[in-house]
Copies of this chain bind each other. A is one copy, B any other.
Amino acid sequence: MSSTPRIPRDRDDDYSEQAAQQRRDFVAEQTGTRLTHAAHYDFDPQATRGNIEHFTGVIQVPLGIAGPLLVNGEHAQGQFFVPMATAEGTLVASYNRGMRLTREAGGVQVTVADDAMQRSPVFTFASAREARDFGVWIETQMDSIRETAQATTRIGQLRNIEHYAVSRFLYLRFNYTTGDAAGQNMCGKATHAACQWILAHTPYPVLRFSLSGNMDTDKKPSLLNMLHTRGKRVIAECTVPNTLLERIMGVNAQTLYERRIMSMSGAFLAGSLNNGAHAANGITATFIATGQDVANVAESCVGLAVGELTEQGDYYFSITLPSLIVASYGGGTGLPGQRQCLEMMDCYGAGKARKLTEIIAATVLSGELSLAAAVANGDWVTSHEQYGRNR
């Protein structure tokens, strides 16, 4: 194509069905493909303002439910049915099986251990010495910095700032609590304001400034996030009696523990940021269903799984998700179908982000045990034969 066709209304702010139809017509004209299924949505497209540009319709992602999941959290307590949106066969069945196991084992205990969202600007100076001294100065200005940052937001609180000195750069990592929103934009706005204040007041001339120096690390998996939390740091744990493992999963605790050692060693050797099984599956499916920012799977999939054989011969298993980004409002959580999925767990709106976090972590743990058992007893391949699309 030599000319450059232009998407209709690509600069304006029109979220009407007419605009969407124009765009679909344009696609049809340009590519020969009519996006008929995209047109099949049942809400006022104005609802997507702030969620998307060039609104053209919807993608229909299959939804299944799993559970009940028995959660013993501080915010989520009792049995929950968990909505999971995915196109990967066996996923829902596998999580559902794991939920049965953990339920019969007395439920999954879940603890939110930390909670922080970041923006990490970087400042460059004439020399490393100035960068260091600037860092010392920053420490003396925390009140003004906090005040300036927090003036931009009703909810966000600046908790602390980490410093990382490299070359003549100083990376600052601003840690905020952001209530029940995921909070990336809130942090960006607050840190932007704080940095404007810093740039105006610093006695050390700033050679270069960037609002992000890649130590956030936004939309990227990193050891730093594993160490210092991004979003929620949540730990799910369960001690599963050996008899239950044998009865429901056809494996015993000794076998799971032995494989855990092999998997921990393999993950260490692989330079993996998750030494568990498949946390990303459960996280992605619940994220799509509940309107989370699904690209945060990049950070949220990071995890540390620990399995221990108890002295009674049972299996203690935990998974720590140190950078699970969960919101109960804001972003896509308010889209009509997504909101219903939140509501079915009583997780929509203010005060619910930690509850949802606990449910997702408990879901992940259940899925870890289910897959570990399937691998151990050889069901893994055969169940994919049964449910999936092997060829």
Q: Mark A76-117, 1 if CB is under 8 A from B, else 0.
A: 001101010111111111001000000100000101011000
Q: List 9 A-B contacts (CB under 8 A).
A: A40-B40, A56-B83, A59-B83, A111-B127, A166-B320, A215-B266, A227-B227, A264-B265, A298-B301
Given the complex, which residues of B lie within 8 Å of A169, measured CB to CB? 262, 265-266, 306
Interface residue? A324 (CB, 8 A)? no
Q: Is the interface of A mostly helix, strand, loop or mixed?
A: mixed
Given the complex, which residues of B lie within 8 Å of A137, measured CB to CB? none
Given the complex, which residues of B lie within 8 Å of A67, measured CB to CB? 7
CB contacts under 8 Å to B, within A301-323, are 301-302, 304, 306, 308-309, 311, 318, 320, 322
Contact, CB under 8 Å: B10 / A87: no
Interface residue? A291 (CB, 8 A)? yes
CB contacts under 8 Å to B, within A12-37, are 23, 27, 30-31, 33-37
The 9 lowest CB-CB distance pairs between A and B, nearest first, are A87-B332, A223-B271, A37-B337, A214-B266, A280-B298, A128-B235, A222-B272, A224-B270, A58-B60
* Max chain B Cβ within 10 angstroms of own Cβ: one of A186, A258, A284: A284
Inter-chain CA distance A272–B171, complex, in Å, is 15
Given the complex, which residues of B lie within 8 Å of A273, measured CB to CB? 220-222, 273
Stoichiometry (number of copies): 4
Q: Shortest CB–CB separation between residue A306 and chain B, in angstroms?
A: 4
Interface residue? A200 (CB, 8 A)? no
Q: Shortest CB–CB separation between residue A93 and chain B, in angstroms?
A: 4
Inter-chain CA distance A129–B109, complex, in Å, is 9
Contact of A31 among B237, B266, B320, B345 (CB under 8 A): B345
Contact of A262 among B78, B114, B124, B380 (CB under 8 A): B124
Interface residue? A389 (CB, 8 A)? yes
Contact, CB under 8 Å: A62 / B87: no
Given the complex, which residues of B lie within 8 Å of A68, measured CB to CB? 1, 4-5
Q: Shortest CB–CB separation between residue A279 and chain B, in angstroms?
A: 7
Contact, CB under 8 Å: B59 / A341: yes
Contact, CB under 8 Å: B7 / A165: no
